[in-house]
Amino acid sequence: MLPGMRISIWPGAYQPFESVLAAANHAAGTGWDGVWFADHFMANAGGPFPPESPTLECGATVAALAAAVDRVRIGTLVLGNTYRHPAVVANMAATVDRISGGRFTLGLGAGWQRNEHDQYGIELPAVRERVDRFAEAVQVISGLLREPATTFDGTHYQLTGALCEPKPVQQPLPILIGASGEQRMLGLVARYADQWNTWGLPELIRHKSGVLDQHCEKVGRDPARIQRTAQALVFLTPDQATADQITGSLRQPAFGGPADRVGEILGEYAELGLDEFIVPDFTLGTGAQREDNMDLLYAAAAPYR
């Protein structure tokens, strides 16, 4: 595979904005390609952070990053559809793209985190209905961002001659769908997405990407028109045994080791055709340590860019 895999940073929402901004500015100043931000109001129960952790809201944060950080792309990873009406999302996305000068990627997902819905009294439908709603929402958002006016008569959303002005700088503004479900969600990626994202180590990404190709064939779409993005936890350690001990106890996809071994695994992602690898920052330390580890990761990824 020819070089060309982008590398981006994903600052966690459970840190002060000043720390998020520092990571984004370091990325912008050292050659990284993008900065992504998650859409949650609290940490997931049973996850690595306590639910009461102070949590930055995604829409406001990406708007601030769009204004404060130059060069890199800014994206949402991913906005939960259950939290906002799709017309609100479209207007937000168009505005952030304007603020950034055309550097925004709108990442969307169906929504899933139970404790947020329970605490705020937000309905979390069963999976089938949630995906039905999401399919309609993506069509609504695409219409508002890309057409002069949008009329939509769905089961869950109805719009009549709806406007979204000003339009984004980018035409079209890229829409990313976060999806792992092989039956329906990857089918929606094939129909509606410009980019696809999921968690996974190389072999899983290879498998899911193949399933996505099959869905593209079913709907008559060229699979090459959908960019593939993925993330896993990355641990830079002095020796491989330490990394294996850390990653072996985790539920999320993770890999690690000395910088040369991490580079080999990044090369595996590049070889399978991944367009962008995204690095969550909370495994990299804080302050100067995080910046040093970002520099090591960037150097490890350089042969595949």
Walk along the chain (305 residues) and give the pLDDT tens digit of each residue. Answer: 345 999 999 999 999 999 999 999 999 999 999 999 999 999 999 888 999 999 999 999 999 999 999 999 999 999 999 999 999 999 999 999 999 999 999 999 999 999 999 999 999 999 999 999 999 999 999 999 999 999 999 999 999 999 999 999 999 999 999 999 999 999 999 999 999 999 999 999 999 999 999 999 999 999 999 999 999 999 999 999 999 999 998 999 999 999 999 999 999 999 999 999 999 999 999 999 999 999 999 999 999 99
Radius of gyration of the chain (CA): 19
The reply to whether the predicted model has a pTM over 0.75 is yes
Q: CA 97, 102, 107 angle in degrees (round to 5)? A: 55
- pLDDT, residue 2, reads 45
Per DSSP, the residues of 183-244 read TTHHHHHHHH-SEEEEE--HHHHHHHHHHHHHHHHHHT--GGGSEEEEE-EEEE-SSHHHHH
CA distance 282 to 11: 7
Superfamily of domain 6-224: Luciferase-like domain (3.20.20.30)
Give the start-to-end residue ranges of the domains of the chain: 6-224
Q: What residue type is 120 in one-letter code? A: Y
The Cα-based distances of 290 to 21, 66, 184 in angstroms read: 13, 22, 38
- pLDDT, residue 3, reads 57
3-state DSSP call for residue 9?
Answer: strand
302 CA to centre of own chain: 21
